[in-house]
Chain A
C-alpha cells in the first residue's frame, strides 16, 4: 500500500524532473555549459505563473503556459546577452560556470527584492483525489503527468521529425561540422536555449504546484536534483534525461518512505556516483552514434 503511494508520488516527481532535466540537457548538449542559473529560471517561471494565476485571476493552466513562456524569454535573453558573448570571447567553460552562478544570484535577488521573502501559493481549484492501482493522486498531479508526457512527446517529434530537430542533433553531435554543412548553428543554439527555458519554466511551475508553496529559493533548491537526473542518463541526451528523471523521481520518493531527509541525499549521491563512475551517463554514446549515422 505504502509502496503504491510512493510509486504514485514518484511518477509525479519524475514527470516534473523530466521537464527540467530534458530542458537542462538540451542546452548542455549543444553548448557544453553547466548552466547553474537554471534553478533561478525555474523560479522565474513560478513567479510568472503566480502573476497570471493569482494577480491576473487566470486559470492555473494558463499559468503553466505563461511560466514556460517566461522561462523561454529569460533563457533566450541570457544566451543573447551573457552566455553567447562570453563563449564567443573564448572564456573557458569553468569561467562560464562562475558567470552562470553570478547570473543566478542576480535573478534570485531581483525576484527577492520585488516579491519579498514570503511563501507564495497558487489558487488551485479544490478537487477530489483519484485512486488508481493503489496510488492516490489529485487531479492536478494527474495533469502534471499529462503536461510532462505531452511536452516530452512534442519534443521527441521535434527532434526526430523536423529539419530543426535534425539541425539540433547535428549541432549537439559536432557543432563545427554542422556549421560547415550549412547549419546556422547560432540560431539553432538560440532555439535550444529558448526550448530549454520553456521546459525549465514548466518544470518550475509544476514543481511549485506540487509543493503547494514556493519562494525565491525554491528553484535553486531543485537545481541539483534536476542535474542529477540529467547526468544519470548521460548529460546532453534528452532520452537519457527522461530515464534519469524516472529513476531519480522514484528513488527519492521510495527513500522518503525510510526518512524524508534521505530524499535529497539519495539524488545527490546518485549524482556524485555517476559523475565519478560514468561521467558520460548510463548510455554513453547511443545518441551520438545515432546522430552521427545521419539518415
Chain B
C-alpha cells in the first residue's frame, strides 16, 4: 500500500472509531433514554477542548498566536480522564436546566438553543478558546516518547482508538444490560407510568444525560488527539444531526445497530460519495450528499422505523414448568 492510501485508511479508521463511540453515547441518551439531545456535539467539543488545552501547555510561550484558558502539560491519559469528566460536569450543568420541561420536545428545543448559544459564545470570545480560529498544534499522544514515523504512528493511534472502542463497549454493554437500563427504557416508553411505579424519572434522565455527555467528551478527546486541532467549525449544531441519522439507520436502542449505523452513514456513505465525479461546482456534490442523507432518514423512519438492527424486545417470564417452579426468577428471553 502506498503511503497515501495508508494515511487514508488510518484517518478513516480513527474517525470510524470515534464516531462509533459517539453514536453509542447518543444511543444511550436518545435511543434508550428518549432524550432529544440536540446539543450532543457540544459535549464532544468540550472533551476535545479540554484534552487540547490540558496537553498544549500554558498559553503564551511557543503558542503566542493562540489564546486560551486553563493550559497545562498533563500526561495524555490524565488529560483524557479530565476531559471525560469535563463532559460529565457540563452535562450535569446543562441537564439540570434543559431537562426541566415536562415535554421531551421542549427539552430538545432548549438543548438545540444551548448548542447554538455555545457556538456563538465560543466563537465570539477569542480569549477563551481562541474564537473562530480554534486551537492548533495539539500534541500527539505518546508521539515524543515513541519516536515513530508519521505512518507508523498513525497505525499506533488506530490501535489506541481500537482499545478505546473496546473499553467503551464494555462500559456501555454493562450499563445497557443492567437493571438500571431497564428503568431507563421504562422511562422512555412511558415516563408517567414509570413515575407511578416509583421510579425517580428526573434523576434517571439526568444520569443518562451525564453518562452520555461524559462518553461524548471522551470521543472528542480521542479525536483531537488525532487531528491536532479543534475549532467551532468542527462542532456546528448540524453535526449532531448526522449522529441522529446513524442511530436511526442502525436501530434506536441497539448498541450493535448504532455502531453499524455510524460506519454505514459516516464512513461508507460520506466517503463513498466523495468518489462521485464532480459536476457543476464542488458544493453541489456536498449539497446532494446532504439531500441524500435527509431522504435516508425520512425513508428509514417511514419504512424501517426500528432501523437495520431493531432493539431486542425483552420479555420477562416466570419459568412455567420444571423443578424450580414457583421461584420468582425473571428470565430475559430474546425474541
Contact = CB atoms under 8 A, between A and B. Distances in A.
Nearest to B107: A275
A117 B283 contact: yes
A39 to B, nearest CB: 12
Nearest to A276: B100
Contact of B298 (A103, A108, A272, A276): A103
B106 A112 contact: no
Interface stretch (A59-67, A87-95, A147-155, A242-250): A87-95
Interface stretch (B2-10, B113-121, B136-144, B160-168): B113-121
Contacts of A108: 290
A102 B105 contact: no
A269 B120 CA distance: 12
Contacts of B102: 279
A183 interface: no
Interface string A249-266: 000000000000100110
Nearest to B300: A102
Contacts of B114: 272
B302 interface: yes
A224 B112 contact: yes
Interface residues of A, number: 38
B241 A97 contact: no
Interface residues of B, number: 42
Contacts of A109: 287-288, 290-291, 294
Given A94-B34, A98-B248, A272-B113, A34 B298 contact: no
Contacts of B287: 109-110, 112-113
B310 interface: no
Nearest to B290: A109
A85 to B, nearest CB: 8
A178 to B, nearest CB: 22
B120 A275 contact: no
B208 to A, nearest CB: 15
Nearest to B121: A265
Contact of B241 (A93, A105, A113): A105
Interface of A: 34, 82, 85-86, 89, 91, 93-95, 97-99, 101-106, 108-110, 112-113, 116-117, 224, 227, 231, 261, 264-265, 268-269, 271-272, 275-276, 279
